[in-house]
């Protein structure tokens, strides 16, 4: 079935208009990325207007038709690029105006004498450069790192840019070898590819935003609201993953913490003061334990006044020293009024495991038993669990 260029233009206009409307709709659901979606929606609508101008470029006087369409297309690509740059909070768009001004000046000076060459070949170069920069920005973007849709988000503009590079450099060679009908074929193929890009890129933008939001929800489900540490779910999820991939005979130590006389603190000073004590301990533990070298430990609030820290690659001696430092720093911080001015201490149980020997639950159980012994022996101390049963 043969499809003429006008039909392809109309199809592209339709897909771009729908894509822009969809991204505007998504802004209502994803407020944190409303700016990005707004720029991407604006880019889609500018592309649609550019297609209308391109359809009617021969009816407009002089080079105003192809030059205007070219400038509008580049504007659309710049809007999409700006939305991508905003994912990492990057600003600075002054060079966009410089790019458009330089392109307009080039059209005004040289486009008058070579309008077909500009429309068919030279105008492809800024498009290739901008979409190539879009792909590179997505590749380096911290906000989408680790997202499943990131690879396709990079591949689509990279492929689009490669196509426009071929249009700029390969098409003239083919046209000189096989005649002007090559230009007609390339024009149709450009529109086919444009239809695909006008569908794929907006869908990918939306996929990135949705997946990022899902990751935030998953992270929130693994995070304790009061302290910002991992919660029990996050501790077991991350800890089990660490134990499974931490190979060899390297040790893994686990510190179990329980704030001393916490119920009395709550009863005497109120729950707000109790929460402040919990936050103080969380800050002390996080600052001391996460300051160690890789592999990164996992510090979590398991519930109430109970905390735990998994220390991959740390033996008993180093883990005990770290636990004692946490206990000392917490007691000093509470006495010196860094928290609510309530003296508080912590009891600690320590257990060591080996990768492949037992699971995280068993390791925590052994550390808990050592913790109960620390409580029984007077609190504000570190007790070490005996070796695991063979």
Q: What is the pLDDT of residues 142-154, one digit of tens each?
A: 999 989 999 999 9
Q: Are 193 and 128 in contact (CB under 8 A)?
A: no
Token pair recorded at residue 170 = 């390969």
pLDDT class of 108 with cuts at 50, 70, 90:
confident
CA dist 64 and 98 (Å) reads 19
Lowest mean pLDDT across 6-20, 65-79, 290-304, 362-376: 290-304
Lowest-confidence segment of 24-28, 92-96, 239-243 by average pLDDT:
92-96
Q: Give me Rg for the CA atoms of the chain.
A: 31
What value does the mean pLDDT take over residues 335-356? 83
CA distances to 42, 214, 258, 312 from 76, rounded to whole Å, are 8, 28, 57, 49
Q: What average pLDDT does the structure give for the chain?
A: 88
d(CA 163, CA 301): 52
Q: How many CB atoms lie within 10 A of CB 250?
A: 13
| Least confident span in 198-202, 226-230, 294-298, 307-311 | 294-298
Which residue matches tokens 């109309």? Answer: 10
Q: What is the pLDDT of residue 293?
A: 55
What φ, ψ does residue 229 adopt, rounded to 5°? -80, 170
Tell me the torsion sign for CA atoms 142, 146, 151, 156: negative
Stronger pLDDT, 247 or 263, i.e. the higher one: 263
Q: Could you give the CA distance from residue 303 to residue 232 in angstroms, rounded to a whole number?
A: 7
Angle formed at CA 313 by CA 364 and CA 354, multiple of 5 degrees = 50
User: CA–CA separation, 232 vs 69, rounded Å?
Assistant: 57
Residue 206 CA to residue 79 CA, distance in Å, equals 15
Domains detected in the chain: 5-221 (1.20.1070), 232-384 (3.30.70.270)
Distance, CA of 140 to CA of 143 (rounded, Å)? 9
Neighbours of 219 (CB within 10 A): 11
CA 248 to chain centre: 32
Distance CA 331, CA 76 (A): 59
Phi-psi region of 378 (alpha: psi -120 to 50; beta: other; left: phi over 0): left
* DSSP bridge partners of 346: 259
Per the listing, tokens 């709550």 go with 266
Tens digit of each residue's pLDDT (9 = 90 or more) over 58-107? 888 877 888 888 899 999 999 999 999 999 987 777 788 888 888 888 87
> Can you tell me which residue has the tokens 């988000």?
153
List of residues 6+ apart from 264 with CB closer than 8 A: none
Least confident range from 34-38, 206-210, 259-263, 314-318: namely 314-318
What is the pLDDT averaged over residues 266-276? Answer: 92
Q: Measuring CA to CA, how many Å separate 212 from each of 30, 150, 209, 220, 234? A: 10, 10, 5, 12, 18
Q: What is the pTM of this model?
A: 0.78
Q: Is 378 helix (H, G, I), strand (E, B) or coil?
A: coil
Q: What local confidence, expressed as pLDDT, does residue 9 receive?
A: 87
DSSP assignment letter at 296: P
Q: Quick one: which H or E segment has residue 331?
A: helix 316-335
| Least confident interval from 219-228, 266-275, 288-297, 305-314 | 288-297
173-231: pLDDT as tens digits: 777 777 777 777 877 888 889 889 999 999 999 999 999 999 999 989 999 999 999 99
pLDDT in tens, 322-345: 999 999 999 999 887 666 778 899
Q: Is the model's pLDDT at 21 over the cut of 80?
A: yes
Cα 129 to Cα 341: distance, rounded to the nearest angstrom: 60
The CA-atom distances, in angstroms, between 202 and each of 83, 189, 197 are 11, 20, 8
Phi and psi torsions of 39, nearest 5°: -65, -40
Q: Is residue 68 a contact partner of residue 76, using CB atoms and an 8 Å limit?
A: no
């Amino acid at each position: 079935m043969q499809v003429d260029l006008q039909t392809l233009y109309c199809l592209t206009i339709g897909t771009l208009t729908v894509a822009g409307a969809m991204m505007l709709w998504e802004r209502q659901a994803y407020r944190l990325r409303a700016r990005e979606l707004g720029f991407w929606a604006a880019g889609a609508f500018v592309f649609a207007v550019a297609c209308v101008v391109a359809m009617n470029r021969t009816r407009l006087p002089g080079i105003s038709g192809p030059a205007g369409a070219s400038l509008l297309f580049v504007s659309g690509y710049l809007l999409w690029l700006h939305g991508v740059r905003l994912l990492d909070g990057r600003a600075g768009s002054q060079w966009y105006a410089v790019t458009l001004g330089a392109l307009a000046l080039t059209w005004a000076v040289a486009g008058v004498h070579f309008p077909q060459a500009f429309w068919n070949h030279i105008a492809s170069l800024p498009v290739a450069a901008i979409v190539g920069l879009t792909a590179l920005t997505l590749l380096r973007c911290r906000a989408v790192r680790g997202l499943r849709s990131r690879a396709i988000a990079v591949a689509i503009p990279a492929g689009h840019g490669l196509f426009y590079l071929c249009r700029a450099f390969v098409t003239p060679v083919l046209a000189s070898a096989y005649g002007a009908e090559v230009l007609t074929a390339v024009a149709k193929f450009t529109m086919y590819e444009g239809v695909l890009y006008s569908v794929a890129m907006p869908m990918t933008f939306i996929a990135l935003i949705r997946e990022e939001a899902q990751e935030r929800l998953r992270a929130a489900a693994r995070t304790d609201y009061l302290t910002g540490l991992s919660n029990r779910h996050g501790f077991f999820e991350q800890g089990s993953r660490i134990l499974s991939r931490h190979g060899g005979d390297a040790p893994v130590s686990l510190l179990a913490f329980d704030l001393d006389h916490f119920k009395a603190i709550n009863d005497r000073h109120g729950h707000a003061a109790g929460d402040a004590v919990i936050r103080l301990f969380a800050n002390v533990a996080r600052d001391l334990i996460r300051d160690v070298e890789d592999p990164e430990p996992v510090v979590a609030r398991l519930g109430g006044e109970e905390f735990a820290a998994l220390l991959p690659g740390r033996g008993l001696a180093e883990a005990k020293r770290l636990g004692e430092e946490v206990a000392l720093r917490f007691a000093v911080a509470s006495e010196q009024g860094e928290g609510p001015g309530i003296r508080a201490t912590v009891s600690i149980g320590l257990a060591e495991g080996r990768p492949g020997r037992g699971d995280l639950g068993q390791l925590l159980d052994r550390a808990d038993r050592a913790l109960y012994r620390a409580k029984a022996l007077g609190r504000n101390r570190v007790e070490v669990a005996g070796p695991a049963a063979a």
